[in-house]
Amino acid sequence: MDNQMPREEGLDHSLSLLKEGYRFIVNRREQLKSDIFETRLLGKKAICMVGSEAAELFYDEDKFQRSDAAPNRIVQTLFGKNSVQTLDGEEHRTRKELLMSVMTTEQINKLLDITELQWEKSLDKWVKMDKIELYEEVKELLCKVAFKWIGAPLHEEEVKTMTKELAAMFESPAAIGPAHWMGRTLRNVIEKTIQQHIQDTREGKVSFPKDSVMHKFSLYKDKNGELLDVETATVEVINMLRPIVAISIYINFTVLALLQYPDQKQKLKMYRDYAKMFVQEVRRFYPFFPFVAAKVKKDFVWNGYHFKEGTLTLLDLYGTNHDPKIWDNPDEFNPERFAHWEGTPFSFIPQGGGDYYLGHRCAGEGITIKLMKIGLDYLVNKMEYEVPEQDLNLELDDIPSIPKSKIILKNIRRVSAQ
Ligand code: HEM
C-alpha cells in the first residue's frame, strides 16, 4: 500500500519559495521531519526532495524527465529555449556530446592560459585604482575570458554591455518584476549578436578557429546531416559563455571564505594540495544553484510514496550539500573534510549529480574548479589588498546570493614572485 507523503498544507507556496530562497526546502524538511514532502507550487502539486538517496532517484531518467519541467521564467532567462537542459533521452545525449566535445585537454589548457593572462591584465589595472568592487571586476574579467575562449570577437567598448547581458541571465531568474524582465530583454540582445556570428560562419563570411566553440557549434550537423537551427546553436553558445561569467560568484565566495576564516590563508600557502580542498569546500558551503527541477515521467512508487506522472519535482542541491546525513558539522567551513572524502556522484552536488555525459550534470564542473583555483592563487599568492569596512552579509533568501558590498578591495598591490 502507498504511504501518504508528508505534506505542506495551503493553496500555493510559490511566493514563499521566492521569499525563502535557499532555505525553502530545508525549512520544510525540518518542520515535516522528512527528506521528501509534497507542497504546491505554480498552482499545482509539487514534490521536494533532499539528500543523496533522493538525488540518485532524481537522476534516474526512466523516472524523471526535463522537458516541460523548468518554469518559463527560468527558460526565458537562464537556459534559453530548446537548450540541452530541457532535453531528454537520445536527443539530450547527442546535444550533450556536442557540448562536451569542447572540454578536451587542449581546449581546457587554452582556457587556463587565457584566464591566467586576463588575471594578469586585470591586476595591472587594479593596482592603479583606489579600490575595486571585486564582483563587478571579475565578471568583466571572465566575460573577456569566455569570448576569447569560444573564439568570438569582443571589442573593449563592448565588454561592459556583454558582461551586463550575460550576468543578467544568472542574476535575474529568481527576481520578481522589472529585474526579471530586464534579464529577459538583455537575453534577446546577446542572442542577436551570437546569431549573426553563426550565420556569418555558415555563409563563409567569417571563419573562427577550427576547434573553437563558435566554429564547432555553428557548423555542427546532427545524425541526419542537418545543421542545428540558428536559435538553438545560439542558445548552446550562450550555455558556454554565461556560466563562465557566473564563476565570478564563486570567486566572490572564495574571497569571502578567506576573510571569514583567516587561518585558511596560511594553510593555502603551506600545503600544495590544500587549494583543491578549499575550492571544493567553497562550492559545498556557499549557496549558488538552489535546486534543479524535473517532472515525473510515469507513475512509480519509491520508499512507499507514490509519484504521479507529470508532477513537478525539485531536488535541493544546497540542502544536499549541507545534509547532516552526508556531512559532519555541515555548517562548519572545513576544507580538510575533502582530504579523504569518499562520496558518490550524488552526495556532493553543487553543479548537479550523476554523470556528465549521460545525464544533466554540469558540463563545466571541471573547468569551474580549475578557474576557481587560478582565482584563488591570485588572491592568496599574487596580490595583496586591504579590505575596508563594508557589509559582507549574505542573504539566504536572495537567489543568487551575493555579499551586499560586492566585496570592495582597496590599495591592491602585486606580490613579486620569489
Ligand atoms: C559557475 C559555476 C557553475 C555552477 C554553480 C553550475 C551549476 C550547474 C547546475 C546546477 C546544472 C544543472 C544540473 C542538472 O540539471 O541536473 C548545470 C548544468 C549545466 N552547466 Fe553548469 N554550472 C557552473 C559552471 C558551468 C560552466 C563553466 C559551464 C560551461 C562552460 C557550464 C555548463 C553547463 C551546461 C551546458 C549545463 C547543462 C547540462 C545538461 O543539461 O546536460 N556550467 N550547471
| CATH number of the domain bearing residue 225 | 1.10.630.10
Regarding the beta carbon of 69 and ligand 1, being less than 6 Å apart is answered no
Any residues with CB less than 8 A from the CB of 355 and at least 6 apart, and which?
59, 345, 361
Interval between CA 117 and ligand 1 midpoint (Å): 24
The answer to whether position 233 is within a domain reads yes
The domain in which residue 157 lies consists of 14-411
Q: Does residue 214 lie within any of the structural domains?
A: yes
CB of 354 closer than 6 A to ligand 1?
no
CA distance 403 to 390: 10
pLDDT at 1: 60
Q: What average pLDDT is seen over the chain? A: 93
Q: Is 289 in the pocket of ligand 1 (CB under 6 A)?
A: yes
Q: Cell 537548450 identifies what position? A: 83
Atom of ligand 1 nearest to the CA of 66: 15
Does residue 3 lie within any of the structural domains?
Answer: no
What is residue 398's predicted lDDT score, i.e. its pLDDT? 82
Which of 59, 87, 170, 351 to mutate to test ligand 1, by most ligand atoms within 8 A of the CB atom?
A: 351
Average pLDDT over residues 122-150: 98
Q: How confident is the model at residue 179 (pLDDT cuts 50, 70, 90)?
A: low
The mean pLDDT value for 21-41 works out to: 96
When divided into structural domains, the chain yields a total of 1
pLDDT band at 416 (very low <50, low <70, confident <90, very high): confident
Please report the pLDDT score of residue 7 as a whole number. 96
User: In sequence order, what are the residues at sequence separation of 6 or more whose Cβ sits closer than 8 angstroms to the Cβ of residue 144?
Assistant: 118, 154, 159
Beta carbon of 111 within 6 Å of any ligand 1 atom:
no
Q: Report which protein residue has its CA nearest ligand 1's atom 40.
A: 85
- Which residue in the block uniquely carries the three cell numbers 519509491? 302
Q: What percent of the chain has pLDDT over 70?
A: 94
| 418 domain residue, yes or no | no
Where does residue 324 rank: exposed (0-12), middle (13-18), buried (19+ CB within 10 A)?
exposed
- Residue 2 domain-assigned? no
Q: Which of 67-71, 324-328, 348-352 has the lowest mean pLDDT?
A: 67-71
Q: In this structure, which residue's CA is closest to atom 9 in ligand 1?
A: 351
Q: Is residue 362 part of an annotated ligand binding site?
A: yes
Pocket of ligand 1 contains residue 288 by CB under 6 Å? yes
In-domain check, residue 5: no
Tell whether the model's pLDDT for residue 410 goes beyond 60.
Answer: yes
Residue 175's pLDDT is what?
A: 53
pLDDT at 178: 47
Helix (H) or strand (E) holding 139: helix 134-150
Residue 416 falls inside a structural domain: no
Residue 4 lies in a domain: no
